[in-house]
Amino acid sequence: MTKVDLDIPRSPDQVFAVLSDGWSYAGWVVGATHIRDVDDRWPETGTRIHHSVGAWPLQIEDETVVQAVEPGRSLELHAKLWPVGTAWIRFELNPTTSGGTRVTMHEKAISGPGSLLPEPAQAVFLIPRNRETLKRLADLVLRGDQR
């Protein structure tokens, strides 16, 4: 399983507010290019984001499903991208002593071709992607102050 961390100088509730906006995912999740629909009760357990990945016209349409959620603390997802496979993703939000939030993102390919790679090989691809994902998430959290 890969793991990346980033400290964001905002509260866990402010970070979770962006995680709770399913329509924002194409703005910070690396690879997501279009959000087609978001279930009304997102991010409750079992709700879905219907997304596209890739450049048009070669987009793949699939979905991400909430597996578990603790508002302000964590969000666990099952991301589907067939035929590539599926991934388990978990975001953990922990308050820092400075009043910010340490965001930890865990990811592991759990089905499809990616799951056949040993974890160190998965990490070669996932760690840089997930670092960029967290940087983009931080940008949206910080931009929320300017609205």
pLDDT in tens, 49-92: 999 987 778 888 899 999 999 999 999 999 987 677 899 999 99
DSSP, residue by residue, 91-124: EEEEE-TTS-EEEEEEEEEEESGGGGS-HHHHHH
The predicted model scores a pTM of 0.93
Residue 117 has pLDDT above 70, yes or no: yes
Average per-residue pLDDT in the chain?
92
Nearest Cα residue to 42 out of 20, 60, 61: 20
Q: Residue 1: which pLDDT band, with cuts at 50, 70 and 90?
A: confident
At 145 the pLDDT is: 59
Q: What is the 3-state secondary structure (H, E, C) of 77-89?
A: EEEEECCCEEEEE
Q: Name the pairing type of β-strands 85-95 and 101-111.
A: antiparallel
Higher pLDDT, 115 or 104: 104
Q: Where are the domains of the chain?
A: 2-146
At the topology level, CATH places domain 2-146 in: Alpha-D-Glucose-1,6-Bisphosphate; Chain A, domain 4 (3.30.530)
Q: Is residue 147 classed as helix, strand or coil in its secondary structure?
A: coil
Q: What is the mean pLDDT of residues 103-129?
A: 91
